């Protein structure tokens, strides 16, 4: 169970939001919505321990995540706008690097590429990918090494219908597997049974 | 028979296949004669002793180092301006040969320098500019290597080759512009060669041998590059189907 | 032209290139006495060489970002689409580069020359050759920067490509100063240097523009 | 024999003259060898690829 | 009238598409659709003269655009994934730079910022913008200096409902003004009376 | 550790840092004789200084990209999220940096020393000091690189921050070689240098990790 209690967020010495509560149980998905600049990305970065909360606390099964950030980090994936795909490496190498760092099995790399329909691009340098292919390569990381909590910042950007379907399938499998998902988006993700957290600009 | 007569790659391959063995054989023969003359027939110099024999490999290597670059630059210009389809390949194929000769000029020069000047290396203008020429060759080859797309690489490399061409006159005239340890030109100069004929002839034979060797090697490398280009095209067609 | 002011503005805002070259120049030159030792005679002997080599390196380092930053964030694309001729845009960027690197070096050189005990005869020659030579550095460097835009080993290749082309500038620059220091006639060297720069003015922007066009494809 | 020894000694400069000629031979031979092998290899690959394609084309028919 | 005849595209020495025809009359909009990697971005780049056509030709009122690319460039705007917004400059400075280079009036800058709802961010450095605000700043260029042909590559990425509405309004005004629009997208742009060009992977 | 192999792999692939430092080192040292003139005596006199200054500059230049590239494309974020302690990641990156810059410099130094007519006594001292000193360059530099990550004038600030910290390394390194060349006892200098490096090993990764954490906020 991942929970937020009375969270507030400051960016550039300005209060972006405050008094925010949420909770995600295993198998659940929370979708963040709200206009541009309302703090969705900021909230995700807090959940990833990349940003400090200005007030309130984030807990995992009751324990404050700020107490042992390393442990919390090991159980999450954060897919951001900057997608950490190195243009000099091929698609496979890109995915392999991250799964090696996370110490997960190499066998999953092929599964991951297949899950996002980029198996045929395995040996293409990322430099030569189209925008959607690039994004798929970034998302494939989710499958290549397991993590309980997925934090997704506008994950469907640049994806075509097929790519979006791949992502939906991945999220469904993940949830069936007791995973949790927290996603920020402006367009319909096409997931069923999700909770929506509407952020309001202050 | 225009410039474009040999633009047809198949025709080129056929012609090259015919010339190449002859050129190779002739190069080997001339080299053998040249080595015989240089090592055995030519008398030791009264000043430089037997080290003078190094001249017969050093000087032709140095000439070829510059010649290859001129060839490379001209081929690049032809590729850029007239878009002759084989010019790219000729330029690309000549770079490793030029680098090889530049390397030889440096090494044989060093081997000559130690007994003559008492040092393997001195930082004079001629020597340094040859070293720079060597770097230029390396840079040219590295540029080819590091751009995946063949056509783009060809154009980029051609631009570099043309810009780098300013180094050639600098090498040629460096001995006249700066006072250095190195010999000024005694063969290739305006008022005719100033060297004894007993030395001149073997030198010219050696130079000719190097030139013919260059031609044979160039043809072989161009055919290889042409094949590689075709292989790439086939592979790509295969992958996308 | 608007492109020049834009680049200057950005340079001032980001600081990056402007001061980097200058700071690098100053630091390199100050490191030398530390490395070589303080004897004035030796310092004076090596001063023209050290100053010119440091200037060369400083100019080369700032080249890396000449087109790269604009390329990565799509600005270079937008610039080519602005309707201005690409050669002109490249020239504008070269001028901005010179104003932010060559000019500061030129201004800093006299101070450093004093620190290195250079004699007064060499002074005028140093300034003159740097004034004539540094634009050539920006011009020639632009070609290398443009050629290596999309290249994997960008940085290395850039140095490998550009430094050989810089060497004539170095040699003429140093020989002119040496001649002046020893009371000889520096004019031929200066003229050769000027010829080099003049030849580079029309050629380099053209070649660099061709290379930029290639890497945008 | 005397003559031969003298010849190889190169007036005391054997250490410079022979390596110079040797390196020239080595580099020229190596360049030739590499280019020739590269060319042969490319011919083989090309032939194999072409055969492959012809086969596939006839399969498709 | 902007037309393409029998266009083909090569990327990385591979044929991406061929035999493509299209035409856009003043006031019209053409929407490019198709799966990831089918060549939408490539087609837009060709239309912007940034990429060479492998075959066929692009004409403007009958004249081949390759003959005078500078003239063609002056009449178009291309908004790409890489949005050419400098993080060191403020929003206003970013927009002003481009309108200065294009030689258009300064007065339009404020109009442009207002049109995309970022007037309140005018003096914020672009570094501190959220993803959607960043995109709005890139789009504001369209208004700040006039151009007949707009080439938009997935323009709604990161935009919220309000931002998308701003863009729709801008496109409507542009079309009413005899402007032309060519946009690649995976999601509905919400424009009426558009032609759709479906690209197929080869 | 996986991070080291990743960085090495990337370095080989992109070439960037690896060869850049080496090529820069080689070219800088080649430029000097051109600038200073060919007299062997003078070259030998300035050789230790030139080699160390060039090594310092080469190391400093490659620092710029130590964290920057990973920061910009989001990889640094992902690395901190990988569950490994940040200090360890930073240390891994420092080791990779040394392997790709310090080590090549170390290997190239003897060749250059010959070209610069350095005498054989100085040789061993040169190698020893570079072996001990170059890790300190990577370690100290990492702090600077981390501190300047989000800073606008990154490059300049980096040089300004790092070079003063590098000066002790330069001074001890050069004095050790000079002592050896003149047949004096080089040991105290070498020991001081070693002390410096040993002190840097625990301190620098910790400081750099703190700085990285700051800039990710
Ligand atoms: C690494 C060292 C050396 C390099 C890079 C080098 C380079 C060159 C080059 C580029 C040329 C062609 C010049 C031209 O055609 O104008 C040349 C010619 C020549 N070099 Fe060297 N050289 C080196 C050392 C030496 C030494 C040590 C000697 C003899 C003491 C020597 C004697 C000559 C002679 C006699 C010529 C023929 C000049 C002529 O007739 O045109 N070189 N060398
Ligand atoms: N590094 C920063 N420094 C200062 N302010 C920032 C910074 N990053 C974002 N902001 C501001 O914080 C607010 C929230 O930004 P955030 O990126 O969280 O928004 P968002 O909800 O993700 O918006 P979008 O839908 O556009 O992605 C914005 O108003 C933005 O201007
Ligand atoms: N610079 C390049 N070099 C080689 N191939 C490339 C390059 N850029 C793109 N490609 C390839 O060309 C094809 C078309 O790419 P393009 O970016 O036009 O697709 P797209 O339709 O815009 O896709 P998306 O919807 O994902 O943005 C892709 O298969 C891609 O892999
Ligand atoms: Mg966001
Ligand atoms: Mg696209």
Interval A67-85: pLDDT, tens:
888 888 888 999 988 888 8
- Report which bound ligand comes closest to the CA of A45: 2
Query: Crossing angle for the helix pair B87-117 and B125-146, nearest 10 degrees?
Result: 150
Q: Nearest chain E residue to C87 by CA: give it.
A: E70
Report the pLDDT value the prediction gives residue E23, as an integer from 0 to 100.
92
Centroid of ligand 4 to alpha carbon of A60 (angstroms): 24
A182 beta partners: A30, A151
What pLDDT, in 10s, does the model give residues E115-134? Answer: 999 999 999 888 889 999 99
- Indicate the pLDDT class of residue B173, thresholds 50, 70 and 90: confident
The Cβ of residue B18 has, within 10 Å, a number of other Cβ atoms equal to 10
Q: Is B92 in CB contact (< 8 Å) with chain D?
A: no
Question: Is residue E153 domain-shared with residue E143, that is, in the same domain?
Answer: no
Torsion of CA C155, C161, C167, C169, to 10 degrees: -90
- Cβ–ligand 1 distance for B158 under 6 Å, the answer no
Ligand 1 contact, B128 CB (< 6 A)? no
Residue nearest atom 19 in ligand 1 by C-alpha distance: B59
| Ligand 3 binding pocket mutation candidate from E8, E20, E31, E37 (most atoms within 8 A of CB) | E37
Q: What is the mean pLDDT of chain B?
A: 83
pLDDT of residue D2: 52
Q: Looking at residue B1, what is its pLDDT? A: 39
State if residue B125 touches ligand 1 by the CB under 6 angstroms criterion.
Answer: no
C154 vs F20: CA distance, rounded Å: 9
Mean pLDDT, range B192-205, rounded to an integer? 76
For the residues C4-33, what does the mean pLDDT come to?
A: 71
Do E163 and E180 fall into the same domain?
yes
If one compares B8 and A181, the residue with the highest pLDDT of the two is A181
Spatial distance between the Cα atoms of F125 and F128, rounded to a whole number of angstroms: 5
Q: Which of the residue ranges A114-118, C137-141, C151-155, F137-141 would you say has the lowest mean pLDDT?
A: C151-155
pTM to 2 decimal places: 0.81
Question: What percent of chain C is predicted at pLDDT more than 90?
Answer: 12
Q: Are residues E134 and E185 in the same domain?
A: no
| Mean of pLDDT over chain C | 82
My answer on whether A10 and A54 are in the same domain is yes
Tell me the pLDDT tens digit for each residue of E55-71: 999 999 999 998 888 88
Let me know whether E104 and E187 are in one domain.
no
Q: What is the pLDDT of residue D1?
A: 46
From start to end of chain A, where are the E strands?
2-11, 14-24, 29-33, 55-60, 63-64, 76-79, 149-153, 180-184, 195-198
Q: Which residues of F touch B124 (CB under 8 A)?
A: 38
Ligand 1, atom 23: closest residue by C-alpha: B109
Backbone angles phi, psi at C183, to 5 degrees: 70, 15
How far apart CA F132 and CA C168 sit, in angstroms, is: 37
Q: Are residues E11 and E70 in the same domain?
A: yes
Highest mean pLDDT among A178-192, B35-49, C38-52, F52-66: A178-192
pLDDT of residue B238: 67
Give the pLDDT of residue C14: 57
Shortest Cα distance from E40 to chain B (angstroms)? Answer: 18
- Chain C residue with Cα closest to E96: C6
Neighbors of chain E with 3 or more C-beta pairs under 8 Å: A, B, C
User: What is the pLDDT confidence band of residue F10, given thresholds at 50, 70 and 90?
Assistant: low
Q: How far is B108 from chain D (nearest CA, A)?
A: 5
In chain A, which residue's Cα lies nearest the Cα of E116?
Answer: A36
**pLDDT at site F14:** 52
User: Which residue has its alpha carbon closest to ligand 3 atom 24?
Assistant: E36
| Distance in angstroms (rounded) separating the CA atoms of residues F90 and F80 | 10
Mean pLDDT of B158-181: 77
Q: How far B118 CA lies from chain E's nearest CA (Å)? A: 54
Residues 4-43 of C with CB under 8 A from E: 5-6, 9-10, 13-14
| Contact yes or no for A191/A31 (Cβ under 8 A) | yes
Contact list in F for residue C40 (CB cut-off 8 A) is none
Q: Which of A114-128, E188-202, F23-37 has the highest mean pLDDT?
A: A114-128
pLDDT at position B235 over 80? no
Q: Which domain holds residue A105?
A: 83-147
Q: What is the pLDDT of residue C20?
A: 73
Determine whether the shortest distance from the Cβ of E41 to ligand 3 is under 6 A.
yes
Give the helix/strand (H/E) hosting F13.
Answer: helix F2-14
Q: Does C184 touch chain B (CB under 8 A)?
A: no
Closest CA to F164 of B77, C205, B212, C26: C26
By the 10 Å C-beta count (0-12 exposed, 13-18 middle, 19+ buried), F12 is classed as middle
Residue C213: count of CB within 10 angstroms of its CB: 18
Q: Which of C133, C210, C113 is nearest to C175 (CA)?
A: C133
Helix, strand, coil content of chain F in percent (nearest 5): 85, 0, 15
Residue C192 in contact with residue C186, Cβ under 8 Å? Answer: no
For residue A87, the 8-state DSSP code is: T
Put simply, whether C160 touches B (Cβ < 8 Å) is yes
Does residue A104 line the site of ligand 2, with CB under 6 A?
no
Instruction: Using pLDDT thresholds of 50, 70 and 90, give the confidence band for residue D3.
Output: low
User: Structurally, how many domains does chain E consist of?
Assistant: 2
Q: Do B54 and D10 touch (CB under 8 A)?
A: no
Question: How is residue E128 annotated by DSSP?
Answer: G
Ligand 3 probe mutation, A90, A116, A128, most atoms within 8 A of CB = A128
- On chain B, the residues whose CB falls within 8 A of the CB of C140 are 163
The one-character DSSP state at A9 is E
Report which ligand 1 atom has the smallest distance to the Cα of B189.
Answer: 41
Residue D4 has pLDDT above 70, yes or no: no
Which residue, F63, F61, F55, F87, is CA-closest to F142? Answer: F63
| Chains sharing 3 or more CB pairs under 8 A with chain B | C, D, E, F
E164 CB near ligand 3 (under 6 Å): no
What are A24's strand-pairing partners? A2
The whole-number average pLDDT for the span F133-160 is: 80
Domain identity same for E154 and E138: no
pLDDT value at E43 more than 90 = yes
**How much is the pLDDT for C12?**
56
Q: Give the number of C-alpha atoms closer than 13 A to the C-alpha of residue A37, restricted to the C-beta side.
A: 20
Both E5 and E28 in one domain: the answer is yes
Under the banding of pLDDT at 50, 70 and 90, the label for residue C167 is confident
| Cβ atoms of residues C21 and C61 within 8 Å | yes
Among left, alpha and beta (phi > 0; psi -120 to 50; other), residue C183 is left
Assess B108–D contact: CB distance below 8 Å, yes or no. Answer: yes
pLDDT at E46 over 50: yes
How far apart are the CA of B149 and the nearest CA of chain E, in angstroms? 6
Chain E nearest C-alpha distance from C23 (Å): 21
DSSP code, position A66: T
pLDDT of residue F13: 53
Alpha helices, DSSP H only, in C98-119?
Answer: 103-115
Distance CA D27, CA B217 (A): 13
Strand, helix or coil for residue E190: coil
- Is the CB of residue A129 below 6 angstroms from any atom belonging to ligand 3? yes
pLDDT for the residue numbered B186: 65
Closest-CA distance, A126 to chain F, in angstroms, reads 12
Q: Is the CB of E81 under 6 A from ligand 3?
A: no
Mean pLDDT of A48-57: 88
Residue F15 pLDDT grade (very low, low, confident, very high; cuts 50, 70, 90): very low
Between B133 and F158, the more confident residue is B133
Which residues in chain B are contacts of C204 at CB distance < 8 A? 163
Rounded CA Rg of chain B: 20
Q: Give the rounded distance of the alpha carbon of C134 from its chain centre.
A: 5
In the complex, which subunits touch D with 3 or more CB pairs below 8 angstroms? B
Physical contact, E and D (3 or more Cβ pairs within 8 A): no
Same domain, E59 and E125: no
Of B74-83, C13-22, F58-67, minimum mean pLDDT range = C13-22
- Distance between Cα A50 and ligand 2 center (Å): 14
Interface of B with C in 75-134 (CB under 8 A): 125, 128-129, 132-133
A41, A126: one domain:
no
In 3D space, the residue among C121, E67, E191 whose CA is nearest the CA of residue E59 turns out to be E67
- Locate B201 and state its tokens: 């002839």
Q: Looking at the partner chain, which of A50, A81, A102 has a beta carbon nearest the beta carbon of F82?
A: A102
- B178–C140: do the CB atoms touch at under 8 Å? no
Mean pLDDT within E6-20: 86
Given an 8 Å threshold on Cβ–Cβ distance, is D21 in contact with B35? Answer: yes
* E32 close to E40: Cβ distance less than 8 angstroms: yes
Arithmetic mean of pLDDT over chain F: 80
Contact with chain F for residue B13, Cβ under 8 A: no
Domain at E4, CATH number: 3.40.50.300
Q: Is the pLDDT of residue B101 over 90?
A: yes
Q: Are residues A116 and A180 in the same domain?
A: no
pLDDT > 50? residue F192: yes
What backbone torsions phi and psi does residue C33 show, to the nearest 5 degrees? -55, -35
Distance of CA A136 to the CA centre of its chain: 13
What is the structure's pLDDT at B5? 57
Instruction: Flag whether pLDDT at C53 surpasses 50.
Output: yes
Residue with the bigger pLDDT between C97 and B40: it is C97
Give the residue with greater pLDDT, A59 vs C125: A59
Cβ-based neighbours of F143, under 8 Å, separated by 6 or more? F161, F162, F165, F204, F207, F208, F211
Between the alpha carbon of residue E129 and those of residues A11, B233, C215, E157, the distances in Å are 10, 45, 29, 15
Average pLDDT rounded to a whole number, residues B209-227: 93
Asked whether residue E73 carries a pLDDT value surpassing 50, the answer given is yes
C-alpha to C-alpha distance for F146 and F67, rounded to whole angstroms? 7
DSSP secondary structure letters along chain B: --GGGGGSHHHHHHHHHHHHHHHHHHHHHHHHHHHHIIIIISPPBTTTBGGGGGHHHHHHHHHHHHHHHHHHHHHHHHHHHT--TTHHHHHHHHHHHHHHHHHHHHHHHHHHHHHHHSSS----HHHHHHHHHHHHHHHHHHHHHH--SHHHHHHHHHHHHHHHTTHHHHHHHHHHHS--SSPPPSSSSTT---S-HHHHHHHHHHHHHHHHHHHHHHHHHHHHHHHHHHHHHHHHHHHH-
Residues F80-89 have a mean pLDDT of 79
> Considering only CB atoms, which chain F residues are within 8 Å of B114?
none
CA distance E83 to chain A (A): 13
Most confident range (mean pLDDT) of B187-191, C135-139, E98-102 is C135-139
Q: How far is the CA of E154 from the centre of ligand 2 (A)?
A: 21
Q: Do A109 and A193 fall within a single domain?
A: no
Place of tokens 């003043």: E26
Cross-chain Cβ contact E13/B233 below 8 Å: yes
Separation of alpha carbons F26 and F28, rounded Å: 6
A153 CA to centre of ligand 4 in angstroms:
7
**Contact between D39 and B58 using a beta-carbon 8 Å cutoff:** no
- As a dihedral over the C-alpha atoms of residue E64, residue E67, residue E69, residue E70, rounded to 10 degrees, the angle is -130
Coil, strand or helix: which one is C149?
A: coil
């Amino acid at each position: 169970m991942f929970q937020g209690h009375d969270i507030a967020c400051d960016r550039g010495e300005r209060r972006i939001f405050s008094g925010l509560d949420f909770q995600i149980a295993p198998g659940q998905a929370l979708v963040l919505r709200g206009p541009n600049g309302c703090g969705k990305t900021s909230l995700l970065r807090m959940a990833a321990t990349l940003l400090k909360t200005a007030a309130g606390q984030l807990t995992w099964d009751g324990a404050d995540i700020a107490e042992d950030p390393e442990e919390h980090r090991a159980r999450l994936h954060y897919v951001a706008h900057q997608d950490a795909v190195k243009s000099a490496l091929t698609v496979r190498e890109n995915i392999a690097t991250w799964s090696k760092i996370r110490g997960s099995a190499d066998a999953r790399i092929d599964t991951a590429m297949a899950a996002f329909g980029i198996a045929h691009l395995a040996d293409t340098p990322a430099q030569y990918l189209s925008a959607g292919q690039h994004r798929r390569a970034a998302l494939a990381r989710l499958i290549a090494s397991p993590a309980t909590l997925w934090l997704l910042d506008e994950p469907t950007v640049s994806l075509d219908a097929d790519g979006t379907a791949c992502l939906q399938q991945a999220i469904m499998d993940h949830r069936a597997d007791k995973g949790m998902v927290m996603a920020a988006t402006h367009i319909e993700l096409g997931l069923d049974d999700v909770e929506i957290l509407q952020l309001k600009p202050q | 028979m225009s410039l474009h007569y040999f633009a047809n790659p198949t025709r080129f391959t056929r012609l090259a296949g015919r010339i190449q063995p002859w050129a190779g054989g002739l190069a080997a023969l001339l080299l053998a004669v040249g080595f015989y003359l240089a090592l055995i027939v030519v008398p030791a110099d009264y000043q430089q002793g037997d080290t003078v024999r190094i001249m017969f490999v050093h000087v032709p290597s140095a000439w070829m180092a510059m010649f290859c670059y001129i060839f490379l630059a001209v081929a690049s210009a032809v590729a850029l301006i007239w878009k002759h389809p084989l010019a790219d390949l000729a330029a690309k194929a000549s770079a490793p040969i030029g680098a090889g000769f530049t390397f030889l000029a440096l090494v044989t020069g060093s081997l000559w320098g130690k007994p003559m000047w008492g040092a393997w290396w001195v930082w004079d203008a001629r020597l340094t500019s040859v070293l720079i020429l060597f770097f230029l060759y390396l840079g040219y080859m590295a540029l080819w290597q590091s751009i995946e797309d063949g056509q783009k690489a060809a154009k980029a490399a051609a631009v570099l080759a043309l810009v780098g061409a300013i180094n050639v006159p600098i090498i040629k005239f460096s001995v006249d512009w700066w006072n250095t340890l190195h010999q000024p030109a005694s063969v290739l100069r305006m008022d005719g060669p100033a060297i004894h004929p007993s030395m001149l002839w073997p030198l010219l034979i050696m130079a000719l041998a190097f030139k013919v060797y260059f031609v044979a090697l160039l043809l072989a490398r161009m055919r290889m590059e042409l094949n590689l280009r075709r292989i790439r095209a086939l592979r790509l067609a295969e992958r996308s189907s | 032209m608007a492109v020049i002011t834009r680049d200057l503005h950005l340079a001032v805002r980001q600081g990056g290139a402007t001061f980097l070259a200058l700071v690098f120049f100053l630091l390199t030159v100050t490191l030398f006495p530390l490395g070589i030792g303080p004897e004035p005679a030796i310092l004076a002997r090596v001063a023209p060489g050290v100053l010119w080599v440091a200037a060369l390196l400083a100019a080369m380092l700032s080249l890396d970002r000449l087109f790269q930053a604009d390329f990565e964030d799509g600005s270079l694309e937008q610039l080519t689409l602005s309707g201005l001729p690409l050669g002109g845009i490249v020239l504008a960027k070269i001028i901005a580069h010179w104003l932010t690197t060559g000019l500061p070096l030129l201004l800093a050189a006299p101070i450093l020359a004093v620190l290195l005990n250079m004699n007064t005869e060499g002074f005028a020659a140093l300034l003159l050759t740097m004034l004539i030579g540094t634009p050539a550095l920006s011009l020639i460097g632009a070609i290398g920067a443009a050629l290596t835009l999309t290249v994997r080993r960008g940085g290395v290749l850039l140095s490998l490509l550009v430094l050989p082309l810089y060497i004539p500038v170095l040699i003429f620059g140093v020989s002119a100063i040496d001649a002046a220091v020893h009371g000889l006639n520096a004019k031929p060297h200066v003229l050769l240097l000027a010829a080099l720069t003049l030849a580079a003015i029309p050629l380099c922007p053209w070649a660099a523009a061709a290379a930029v066009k290639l890497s945008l494809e | 024999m005397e003559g031969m020894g003298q010849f190889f000694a190169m007036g005391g400069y054997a250490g410079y003259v022979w390596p110079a000629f040797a390196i020239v031979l080595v580099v020229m031979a190596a360049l030739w060898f590499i280019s020739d092998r590269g060319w042969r290899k490319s011919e083989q690959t090309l032939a194999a690829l072409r055969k492959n394609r012809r086969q596939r084309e006839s399969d498709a028919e």
